[in-house]
Amino acid sequence: MNRTTLSLIGAATALAAITGVAALTGGSSDDADASAKAATRLPVQRSTLLCPTPSSSDVSNTTYTAYTPKRDGADAKDGGAELLPAQNPADDTTDPGGDDGGKDDGKNGKDGKDGGKGDRTAPGGDKPVLPLKEPGKPVTTEESSAGAPALIGTADGRFAPGWTVQQTTTIDAGSGRGLLGTACTAPDTDFWLPGVSTDRNRQDFVHLTNPDDAAAEVDLKLYGPSGRLKPSTDEAITVPPRSTVPVLLSTLTDQRAAAASLHVTARTGRIGAAVQAVDQKAGGDWLPASAVPSTSVAIPGIPKDATSARLIVFAPGSDDADLKVRLAGPNNAITPAGHESLHVKSGMTTAIDLGDVTKGEPGSLLLTPEGGGGPATPVVAALQVTRGKGSDQETAFIPATAAIERSATAADNRTKGSTLSLVAPRASAKVRVTASAGAGGGSPVSKTYEIKGGTTKALEPPRPASGKGPYAVTVERLSGGPVHASRMLALSQDGVPMFTIQSLPDDRGTVAVPEAGQDLSLLNDD
């Protein structure tokens, strides 16, 4: 056996040992041309989630709820899940109301060796936040301090598949009063956030959180109705290790735009990005990133009592987009009067006011390519929704949401005020909705629903039997076409219809692991 053959055998053996996903199987050389076995889906072994700084208000209260659904195939014993506070290296200059927009040079940041704790303490003390004891049962905690930090969390083993954390903040008075909710998100390198604003009646902060032990370099670019907003300063931001940096968007440009799109790109490293949008009159909420650019878009879960809805669309490519606009209601999909189609110019943000488009019925917005024979152009989109009138208005955002391939979960559901919206844009679909046990006990309850193609089903999710406290709701797609989902949490206070809406993309709790077969022809020395 020559040196080439030995090297190839050694490389193949090392690869199988390191990855743990390839198997060198036995068999004759007659099998060499056979295709590899179909990939097997296995539970993920590690998940990372990032929760932004909840609020700087002295009259705020934040509830955190964490949950991992029980998952077949996950290790029955090993693993854990918890969150630790991130550092804010520019506390004195980047909190909402500061004047430098968060563009700190990072010199005040720690090196990350202290696990990201810095001078902060976790809500409730120095212990990790929301450690899970077992899958299938949520845990919850509250924090009323205005100095509550952003959180960086990791789950592994049996707690990793489908791990979900919800952050829900109530602000009783002042600017941004209302219910602000967000599902903590996984880190990434590229985010599109249509629906931001640099207008004078809005304060929009993008919160950039770095979960890793090396600094991340991040670019921020804003696009208004006439194209790129001219930057007034360097748009590159350094986010130190295991830290969070909030940036006031209006400090990035001297131009004012009521509707704009923000592109967040990590040159190095990876980050979490979410925008806290605060309107001086209509409350505020978190604006999460849109689904990746797509030629067809679904925005699920417009409340039946929405008094206005504003659609914001951006075409990031080099071509314009021509879109057909439809509203999928409880019985069928219709075209909103006066808004049959939408033309979006390349590199420009387009916003249209749809008014009370739902007319007292729940619905979802569907954007598809306008017929024309040419290639369709991918877009990103979001919807700004308002409930209430006059001084009693409250605002929330629904981004374009990817379909549920297998399952998705919304944590922090209450016995009152939770509404689950499911839309099947094309073919009909069947889903199973499971309410977990409550944080204070109880038993899970599941129900099966069918969604007719082109319609939206808005329902009060099932509740746990004899359950107490917040609980999680998991949606599993059983059959049929794609399903998109969102969850609204409503809480009226002093006549203000406070609410927040979280989209439910697939939780990516499983990953395809291919099996490799032996191919001895690779070892031939010609």
Among residues 361, 384, 401, the one where a domain terminates is 401
Higher pLDDT, 126 or 316: 316
The chain-wide mean pLDDT, for the chain, equals 85
pLDDT of residue 372: 62
Residues 356 and 416 in one domain: no
What is the rounded distance in angstroms from the CA atom of residue 343 to the CA atom of residue 324?
A: 9
The answer to whether residues 252 and 101 touch, using CB atoms and an 8 Å cutoff, is yes
Q: What does the block give as tokens for 26? A: 């036995």
Query: Residue 340 half-sphere exposure, CB side, CA atoms within 13 Å?
Result: 2
Whether 145 shows a pLDDT value over 90: the answer reads: no
> Considering the domain boundaries, does residue 10 fall inside one?
no
Domain that holds residue 272: 45-174+186-287
For residue 446, the domain's CATH number is 2.60.290.11
Residues 190 and 259 in one domain: yes
What is the rounded distance in angstroms from the CA atom of residue 178 to the CA atom of residue 496?
A: 8
Residues 331 and 251 in one domain: no
Per the DSSP assignment, residues forming a β-bridge with 156 are 46, 80
7 CB-near residues (< 8 Å, 6+ apart):
none
| DSSP state at residue 518 | -
What is the rounded distance in angstroms from the CA atom of residue 377 to the CA atom of residue 365?
A: 18
pLDDT of residue 519: 62
Residues 340 and 427 in one domain: no
What is the rounded distance in angstroms from the CA atom of residue 398 to the CA atom of residue 385?
A: 8
Whether 396 shows a pLDDT value over 80: the answer reads: yes
CA angle 341–342–347, rounded 5-degree value: 160
Q: How many CB atoms lie within 10 A of CB 85?
A: 26
SS3 state at 251:
helix
Band of residue 235 on the pLDDT scale cut at 50, 70, 90 = confident
Q: What does the block give as tokens for 171? A: 């602000």
Q: What does the block give as tokens for 211? A: 């979960």
Q: What does the block give as tokens for 323? A: 């879109």
What is the rounded distance in angstroms from the CA atom of residue 519 to the CA atom of residue 526?
A: 16
* Lowest mean per-residue pLDDT among 206-220, 290-304, 489-503: 489-503
What is the rounded distance in angstroms from the CA atom of residue 193 to the CA atom of residue 196?
A: 7
pLDDT of residue 80: 94
216 CB-near residues (< 8 Å, 6+ apart):
208, 210, 238, 239, 266, 268, 269, 270, 271
- What's the mean pLDDT in 268-285? 93
Max Cα-Cα span within the chain: 84
Residue (of 167, 251, 237) closest to 208 by Cα position: 237
What is the rounded distance in angstroms from the CA atom of residue 455 to the CA atom of residue 478?
A: 17
Residues 71 and 200 in one domain: yes
45 by Cβ neighbours in 10 Å (0-12 / 13-18 / 19+) ranks as middle
The answer to whether residues 215 and 110 touch, using CB atoms and an 8 Å cutoff, is no
What is the rounded distance in angstroms from the CA atom of residue 250 to the CA atom of residue 218?
A: 17
> Considering the domain boundaries, does residue 465 fall inside one?
yes
Residues 81 and 162 in one domain: yes
Residues 120 and 232 in one domain: yes
Residues 169 and 301 in one domain: no
> Considering the domain boundaries, does residue 413 fall inside one?
yes
> Considering the domain boundaries, does residue 342 fall inside one?
yes
What is the rounded distance in angstroms from the CA atom of residue 139 to the CA atom of residue 492?
A: 24
pLDDT of residue 94: 38
Among residues 401, 430, 446, the one where a domain terminates is 401
Per the DSSP assignment, residues forming a β-bridge with 61 are 170
What is the rounded distance in angstroms from the CA atom of residue 105 to the CA atom of residue 300?
A: 39
Residues 102 and 144 in one domain: yes
What is the rounded distance in angstroms from the CA atom of residue 17 to the CA atom of residue 335?
A: 56
Among residues 250, 269, 287, the one where a domain terminates is 287
> Considering the domain boundaries, does residue 81 fall inside one?
yes
The answer to whether residues 188 and 195 touch, using CB atoms and an 8 Å cutoff, is no
> Considering the domain boundaries, does residue 14 fall inside one?
no
Question: How far is CA 157 from each of CA 39, 66, 83, 166, rounded to the nearest angstrom?
Answer: 21, 16, 15, 20
Residues 411 and 359 in one domain: no
Rounded to the nearest angstrom, the gap between the alpha carbon of residue 502 and the centroid of all alpha carbons in its chain is: 8
> Considering the domain boundaries, does residue 513 fall inside one?
no
Q: Give the count of domains, the chain.
A: 3
Residues 412 and 397 in one domain: no
- What's the mean pLDDT in 228-247? 93
36 by Cβ neighbours in 10 Å (0-12 / 13-18 / 19+) ranks as exposed
Higher pLDDT, 384 or 20: 384
Band of residue 374 on the pLDDT scale cut at 50, 70, 90 = low
For residue range 47-83, list pLDDT tens digits in order: 999 999 998 888 889 999 999 999 876 666 789 999 9
> Considering the domain boundaries, does residue 499 fall inside one?
no
- What's the mean pLDDT in 470-484? 98
Higher pLDDT, 212 or 178: 212
Residues 256 and 130 in one domain: yes
What is the rounded distance in angstroms from the CA atom of residue 403 to the CA atom of residue 513?
A: 21
For residue range 9-57, list pLDDT tens digits in order: 444 444 333 333 333 333 444 444 444 456 788 889 999 999 999 988 8
